[in-house]
Amino acid sequence: MSNIESLVEKIKDKFPQAIEEVVCFRDDYTIRVKREHLLEVFRFLKEEPEYGFNFLSDLCGVDYMGREPRFEVVYHLYSMEHKHRLRMKVSLSEEDLTIPSIVSIWRTANWHERECYDLLGIKFSDHPDLRRILTPDGFKDHPLRKDFPLRGRQTMGED
């Protein structure tokens, strides 16, 4: 069953300049990829039949406040044919919170990226419709950031 292990090794060989780190925890593989090479690696993972990651299960952001780089975008890929999963990550610093959108690869990323923008303030370049999705339009902050308080009131800005 360590098929995915050999596949991860192959990605490392194919994109030596793009991969920053590979971690295996509880049999799940996580690959940290550089932002510049994100689209290229993802296209490969989707289109190469051996990998066949045709399904984007999930996309989300994580705020590691106090760490540098502060933010992370996490992608959970799944292959319906091979039934394997892979977690991909991209690190982002607070000063430059932009990452290429992957809507052109998996259309489902559209709403996931909107949610990530809404709750964490990460901007996705070339996104077709980057608007808030869960909080109201006039909302000012990004509530899932660690420095956003758990309680409080906010007067809504003008929409």
Partner 1 sequence: MEAASEMRTETITLNMGPQHPSTHGVLRVILEMEGEVITKATPVMGYLHRGIEKIAENKTYHQFITLTDRLDYTSPFINNLAYVLAVEKLLDLEIPLRAQYIRVMLSEITRIQSHLIWLGTHALDIGAMSPLLYTFREREETLDMFEMVGGARMNQSYFRIGGLAGDLPDGFLEKVKAFCDLLPSRIDGYETLLTENIIWLERTKGVGVISAEEGIELGLSGPCLRGCGVKWDLRKANPYSSYDHFDFEIPTGEKGDSYDRYLVRMEEMRQSNRIVKQVLDKLPSGEINACNPKVVPPLKENVQNNVESLIIHFHLMTEGFEVPKGEAYCSVESSKGELGFYVVSDGSNKPYRIKIRTPSFVNMESLSTMTEGRMMADMVTVIGSIDICLGEIDR
Q: Which of 31, 42, 52, 63 binds partner 1 (CB under 8 A)?
A: 63
Report how many residues bind partner 1 under the rule CB under 8 A: 34
On the 0-12 / 13-18 / 19+ scale of CB atoms within 10 A, 83 is: exposed
Q: What is the dihedral of CA 109, 112, 133, 107, to 10 degrees?
A: 10
User: 1 or 125: whose CB is closer to partner 1?
Assistant: 1
Stretch that binds partner 1, among 1-9, 10-18, 92-100, 109-117 (CB under 8 A): 109-117
CB crowding 107-144: b at 16 or more within 10 Å, else e:
eebbebbbbbbbbbbbebeebeebeebebeeeeeebeb
Is residue 73 classed as helix, strand or coil in its secondary structure? strand
Interacting positions 111-140 with partner 1 (CB under 8 A): 111-112, 119, 132-136
Cβ closer to partner 1: 39 or 108? 108
Nearer to partner 1, 69 or 143 (CB): 143
Q: Which residues bind partner 1 (CB under 8 A)?
A: 25-26, 28, 30, 54-58, 60, 62-63, 74, 76, 80, 83, 85, 87, 106-108, 110-112, 119, 132-136, 143-144, 148, 150
